[in-house]
Amino acid sequence: MKRLLHASFFLSGLLCLLPGVSVAQPYSVSTDGSEVTDIKTGLIWRRCAEGMMLSQTVSGDTCTAPTGAVVQFTHEAALVRAASEAANTGVAWRLPNVKELASIVDKGVSNPAIDGAAFPTTPASYFFSATPDATLTYIVWIVSFNTGSVSGGNRSVPEYVRLVRAGQ
């Protein structure tokens, strides 16, 4: 019985590494491995943070920056990036609102606080949302994927970006 249980965990772990196979619920990875659908919300996310590319390795998928440098954006640059990606791909990519961005936090883990099979190599740092602070114009809501917390961040301080779009 114990051997069967270990085999089951091993097999489910291997399946999470394959593109197009569902990873830990509630996510489903696209056939090409570049997007993740949140089954609960219907939102479709890019698997990699912006400026990073998905690469398949022997041990699974990873997201790497093509130049080796980590890519962060000011809030204005993040909005421009989202509009540019939408125009270039013909897909309505956008910056998520704070509630959407916080919905992919996995409070059961930290550093990073996100499902690593669905969102590989996510930096354990802050990500911008599209939600501005109600009173301070220079503040926008950010989500920490180190701890899973939500706080206000300065629009001019570069942070990471993950794009989202509505499901079909």
Residue pLDDT, tens place only, 55-98: 866 566 888 888 767 799 999 999 999 999 999 999 999 999 99
Rounded to a whole number of angstroms, the distance between the first and last alpha carbons of the chain is 42
Residue type, 159: E
Q: Where are the domains of the chain?
A: 2-165
Instruction: Give residue 53's pLDDT band: very low, low, confident or very high (50, 70, 90).
Output: confident
Q: Is the pLDDT of residue 11 over 90?
A: no
- In angstroms, the CA 138 to CA 135 distance is 9
Beta strand spans in the chain (E): 27-29, 35-38, 44-46, 53-57, 60-64, 126-132, 139-144, 150-154, 164-165
